[in-house]
Chains A and B, each alone.
Chain A
């Protein structure tokens, strides 16, 4: 079955700097790659997603890249702000959705 690896597990960046979170997946049949943000005590919320026929997608300060050959995908957050502090999950989907273990992002003032 699908296996999703996510790195780093914890990331601290200065406010205004960029943050990058990387994921790899194992099942070449996976065709959808969402990213979720989870705030304390709440369910995860989708922030951006990318499909297998696209290499890059951007939404304001957030961008995601996908390399299907290498089975890598990454989340990029630019101009980080305090409200970006949260846990971020990558996921891969063929029929079911498998998540990475999450990255706790701290934005330092």
Chain B
């Protein structure tokens, strides 16, 4: 069966520090991968999605970047965190290609920038 792992679960970082959040998927090949952010009491904002290794689409201009160095690995990064980067970050995967299938979410990383 397929599983998605996201870590760490909680992170407190000072303003100006770098960020690296990692997500890996097991049990499937060539998935679509997604990073979402959820601000407190708000909806799920799509940040990045990827249909393959090295293929990243950015949905909103921001202080963050994403990379997909391997088929089932998706990394969210920042060189210098801002206070506004605080939030709940969720990684998700879905079956590759344009299709009518659901997304499966990781358990999320709660990032607090202080």
Contacts and interface: CB of A to CB of B under 8 A. Distances in A.
Interface stretch (A57-65, A66-74, A75-83, A87-95): A87-95
A32 B43 CA distance: 19
Contact of B43 (A34, A41, A43, A89): A89
A97 B107 contact: no
B74 interface: no
Contact of A34 (B51, B99, B102): B102
B34 A97 contact: yes
B11 to A, nearest CB: 14
A20 interface: no
What range describes how many residues of A lie at the interface?
A: 20 to 34
Nearest to A90: B43
B103 interface: yes
Interface string B75-114: 0000000000000001010100011111111111010000
Contact of A45 (B49, B99, B105): B105
B108 to A, nearest CB: 5
Contact of A96 (B34, B100, B106): B34
A54 to B, nearest CB: 10
Nearest to B91: A43
Contact of A52 (B98, B100, B101): B100
Interface of A: 6, 31-32, 34, 36, 41-46, 49, 51-52, 89, 91, 93-102
19 contacts: A34-B103, A41-B110, A43-B92, A43-B105, A43-B106, A43-B108, A44-B44, A44-B90, A44-B105, A45-B105, A97-B46, A97-B94, A97-B103, A99-B36, A99-B44, A99-B46, A100-B43, A102-B42, A102-B43
